[in-house]
Chains A and B, each alone.
Chain A
Amino acid sequence: MKKTRLNQVHREAGGRLIEFAGWEMPVEYRGLIDEHLAVRTKAGLFDVSHMGEIMIDGPEALALVQYLTPNDASKLLPGQVQYSALTTPEGTFVDDLLVYCLAVPDKYLLVVNAANTDKDFAWVKDKAASFKVKATNESDRYSQLALQGPLAEEILQPLTELDLSQMKSFHYAYGRVAGIDSLVSRTGYTGEDGFEIYTLSETPDVIWKAIVARGEPLGLQPVGLGARDTLRLEAKLMLYGNDISDQTTVLEADLKWIVKFQKGDFLGKAVLEKQLAEGLKKKLAGFEVVERGIARPHYPVYIGGQKVAEVCSGSYGPYVKKAIGLVYLPIEFTAIGTELEIGIRDKMVKARVVPTPFYKREKK
């Protein structure tokens, strides 16, 4: 099992460590619900060093990224970040990812899911062969911390010379954090304001400890993968393998906003254009369980007694205090208020389609 450079820190903090995507990672520290609520109301600190980083370097780097992803990376200037996907020729997902523009047009960093890093790198490398670029898997060199929550800026500002009040969402800058050279971006995967801190330093624990020392008196908690999952679900952020896969298209996943048809050719464009013109047959919808019970991944979903789908992500949402989930429904059943039934063990439990995200933070 691979260990991040923060492994010892997690042990000292009382983290319960589990295997995730080949990594030994903390699933929780004080408790999932406490950690989840800390991120929504104060702040939480995550080790996400298991995420993959793929560097695209060379005169045709932008051209390659434009070909691999449906969003328009030509809109990015150095200092900007974009949510996008790696798409198959069928318009489905190899993965979802963040694109960091380091230099136009020749240097881009792709940040991908830990479970997909090797697959993604092989995919990118294969496609890169016909472009003047070099693709390298930098994953093991980077550590990545995520500081998320309404107090994130207040906690981080005294630790860096960067003026965080000037950093907009989906922007980044280079600077020191607790004396360690870092790339700091205003991004995250929890539905809260916050930052992700990337460093090549061998001692990212210095950053971790400085943030904890500054943040704990204000209510910050270290947060494990357990709460990371419930936080992203409340915010309707996709989890590869649950909600998106090579069997679901970007449009079916309700991510039309990352598809820019006018930008030129990209993998899957023709299929997605056709799907858009003909209309979707199924789409990812959010539901809440109305009766008692929690819908989990793969539980069957019924409409009028007919099984129509299986739950993708499904869990209890500790902040919204409801059992919530996502499911691909036949398009005629995706209207808000549509009544569903979910097979939970030997019972049929009522649920209904609701607006998403389940949780949206109030902008300042």
Chain B
Amino acid sequence: MYPENLYYSQDHEWLKVEGEEAVLGITDFAQKQLGDIIYVDLPAAGKTVEAHQTIATVESVKSVSDVYSPVAGEVVETNQALVQTPELINRDPHGQGWILRLKIKDKSELGKLMKAADYEKFLEGLEH
């Protein structure tokens, strides 16, 4: 269910590393918890964040949820398709529903994140 080529955080973000950059989104688990997503507050390109800082905000009808950057970095691009079609996150959370692209400051931080199998185990733990 969860793609093998992504890194996962305990806050339910995923990262897809491409060279020095990473694409960031929220996981299928996160979008299901939120429900129908109707608005995404995207950061400006060039914004820098530390690990675990808020980098975007995703809103469903009923709730507001911060998206944390699992690693430190600089925003290089945001998914403009989400401005008109935020429900892409519900439809395809690990693909077309990506939120932004980051330039990673320190790739060693990736070592703290989970691979798919670990994330799935982590989710099982949440359900009990």
Contact = CB atoms under 8 A, between A and B. Distances in A.
A31 B36 CA distance: 7
A294 B59 contact: yes
A315 B39 contact: no
Contacts of B46: none
Contacts of B38: 33, 294, 316
A316 B64 contact: no
A139 B86 CA distance: 41
Interface in A272-309: 292-294, 296
Interface in A22-41: 27-28, 31-34
Contacts of B59: 294, 316
Contact of B39 (A31, A33, A230, A294): A294
A230 B41 contact: no
Given A296-B64, A315-B61, A315-B62, A28 B35 contact: yes
B79 interface: no
Interface of B, secondary structure class, is: strand
Contacts of B39: 292-294, 316
Contacts of B60: 32
Contacts of A33: 36, 38, 61
A318 interface: yes
Contacts of A315: 61-62
Interface in B56-92: 57, 59-62, 64
A11 to B, nearest CB: 15
A292 B35 CA distance: 20
Contacts of B62: 27, 32, 226, 229, 315
Contact of B41 (A32, A34, A296, A345): A345
A333 B59 CA distance: 29
Contacts of B61: 32-33, 226, 230, 315-316, 318
Contacts of B35: 28, 31-32, 226
From B35, B59, B60, B62, name the one whose CB has the most chain A CB atoms within 10 angstroms: B62
Nearest to A318: B61
Interface string B25-42: 000000000011011010
B40 to A, nearest CB: 10
Nearest to B41: A345
Nearest to A344: B41
A324 to B, nearest CB: 12
Interface in A212-245: 226, 229-230
A255 to B, nearest CB: 26
Interface of A: 27-28, 31-34, 226, 229-230, 292-294, 296, 315-316, 318, 345
12 contacts: A28-B35, A32-B35, A32-B60, A33-B36, A226-B61, A229-B62, A230-B61, A293-B39, A294-B39, A296-B64, A315-B62, A316-B61
